[in-house]
Amino acid sequence: MARKSVLILGAGAVGSMVGNKLAREFRREIAKGEIEITVLDRSEVAVNQAGFTFVPFGYFADDDLVRPRRSYLSPRLRTFLGREFEIKDIDLGNRVVKVSGGRSFSYDYLVIATGASFDLKQVPGLERDFNSFYTSLEDAKALGRKIRSMEGGRIVVFVPKMPIACPGAPSKFTVMLDNFLRAFKDRDRFEITFLWPSPNIGPPAYNENITRNLKERGIDDVRGFKYREVDPERKVVVGEDGEYPYDLLITVPPHVGALRGLSVADEDGWVPNDKFTLQYRGPAGSYDEVYVAGDAGSKEILKMGVTAHFQAFVVGENLARDLMGIEERVYYRGHMGCPYVEESPTPASHGRATLAVWKYGVPLSPFKAARLGWKLYRMYYLVYWDTTMRGLM
């Protein structure tokens, strides 16, 4: 029997879940040399970026959000980590992936789960005054220090364009920022402006809740904002319809796909895939043996942790069927979701949150946040490494 090989690009949430699921289900075949599963990633360390929203307010320590990748990847996987394994070329026709260190990896089945990156240059002037909780743990901590040092002033939370990872995070952060200022500063000495590039935030039920929440907090909620530039010298965000001055600018940078410039991706680096099967359908053609999931995929599919979670199980199950010669497919039904924070804890109040979930053709129902939702939301980050990343839930 010829050995079958699966190559997984990226050891983030999707790549790890798929790899660990397959390593568990085919442990006997792997031991016999009948199946080989390989994982590539340019970093030896994993960071749970979803936790960055909390970091400026001191909710998580580094150890909660950072793990060595080998600590959760199955030893049954062939794992190659480090800068020399950054993806340099993907030849779908010949089923070969080349990495920066010069090596080539062949495959029978390929999973592209390389995630997203950032491009500050899309906003003129942004590189000269950039503060964010999106880009790294260190950036999130530095932002927290700047917020704590302020005694008053104008804070602008700026989202230039879509798509972004976790589109609910910027408004969630803004609510938590307001709570923090009310608890530990004189909120009356601050003005908060929220600049958002589209008319709505999420589906109607989500948009209704967050719009009310921002209004009740006295936050200037600007929708459909079209940027021109950031002027760091004058400290203003310049839009087509006006200027917004700031003392502290907090920006969610424009996102691009991690594979920008490669033939498998579109002009912004996103790797097109079928919205149901998640198989590759892009500029290089159509390939049923290639799956794309998580933030790396089509820009039309929202990029969320819940999306990645459900897509990983669909890809893992279909790969298992491929390896067993089963033709029937399971399909991604468009499950999407976003944590909604009504209120974060302060010395005078409890936190309230919930997880809003919807899918293709099934709208999000009206929902309410709850105290238990906040506790479960926080707790999830602590069990994430030993459950989600191991492909167990």
For the domain that residue 103 is a member of, what is the CATH number?
Answer: 3.50.50.60
Q: Cα 96 vs. chain centroid, distance in angstroms?
A: 27
- Are 145 and 244 part of one and the same domain? yes
Beta strands 96-99 and 255-257 are: unpaired
- Are 186 and 245 part of one and the same domain? yes
- Rounded distance between C-alpha atoms, residue 303 and residue 295, angstroms: 5
- Are 227 and 273 part of one and the same domain? no
CB 354 within 8 A of CB 369: yes
Does the pLDDT of residue 262 top 80, yes or no? yes
Q: What is the pTM (predicted TM-score) of this model? A: 0.96
Instruction: Write down which residue in 304, 324, 344 finishes a domain.
Output: 324
pLDDT number for residue 392:
87
**Kind plus residue range of the DSSP H or E element containing 196:** none
Instruction: Please indicate, yes or no, if residue 392 is contained in any of the structural domains.
Output: no
- Are 244 and 274 part of one and the same domain? no
Strand intervals (E) in 223-361:
227-231, 236-239, 242-245, 248-251, 255-257, 279-282, 285-292, 336-343, 352-358
pLDDT number for residue 364:
95
- Rounded distance between C-alpha atoms, residue 127 and residue 121, angstroms: 7
Query: First and final CA of the chain: distance in angstroms?
Result: 33
Instruction: Please indicate, yes or no, if residue 100 is contained in any of the structural domains.
Output: yes
Query: What are the tens digits of pLDDT across the range 146-193?
Result: 999 999 999 999 999 999 999 999 999 999 999 999 999 999 999 999
**Residue 285 binned pLDDT confidence (cut-offs 50, 70, 90):** very high
- Are 62 and 106 part of one and the same domain? yes
- Rounded distance between C-alpha atoms, residue 30 and residue 13, angstroms: 22
Instruction: Write down which residue in 203, 233, 253 finishes a domain.
Output: 253
pLDDT number for residue 1:
60
Instruction: Please indicate, yes or no, if residue 377 is contained in any of the structural domains.
Output: no
- Are 282 and 310 part of one and the same domain? yes
- Are 34 and 98 part of one and the same domain? yes
Does the pLDDT of residue 54 top 80, yes or no? yes
CA proximity to 169, closest of 19, 331, 302, 25:
302
Q: Which domain does 172 fall in, by range?
A: 139-253
Instruction: Please indicate, yes or no, if residue 380 is contained in any of the structural domains.
Output: no
- Are 166 and 244 part of one and the same domain? yes
**Domains in the chain, number:** 2
What number is the average pLDDT over the span 80-98? 98
**Residue 349 binned pLDDT confidence (cut-offs 50, 70, 90):** confident
- Rounded distance between C-alpha atoms, residue 105 and residue 101, angstroms: 12
- Rounded distance between C-alpha atoms, residue 346 and residue 178, angstroms: 11
- Rounded distance between C-alpha atoms, residue 204 and residue 138, angstroms: 34
Instruction: Please indicate, yes or no, if residue 126 is contained in any of the structural domains.
Output: no
- Are 104 and 143 part of one and the same domain? no
Burial class (CB in 10 A: 0-12, 13-18, 19+), 182: middle
Instruction: Please indicate, yes or no, if residue 353 is contained in any of the structural domains.
Output: no
Instruction: Write down which residue in 197, 221, 253 finishes a domain.
Output: 253
CB 267 within 8 A of CB 172: no
Q: Name, in order, each residue with C-beta under 8 angstroms of 204's C-beta and a sequence gap of 6 or more.
A: 363, 364
CB 372 within 8 A of CB 315: no
- Are 152 and 247 part of one and the same domain? yes
- Are 144 and 157 part of one and the same domain? yes
pLDDT number for residue 346:
86
Instruction: Please indicate, yes or no, if residue 183 is contained in any of the structural domains.
Output: yes
Instruction: Please indicate, yes or no, if residue 335 is contained in any of the structural domains.
Output: no
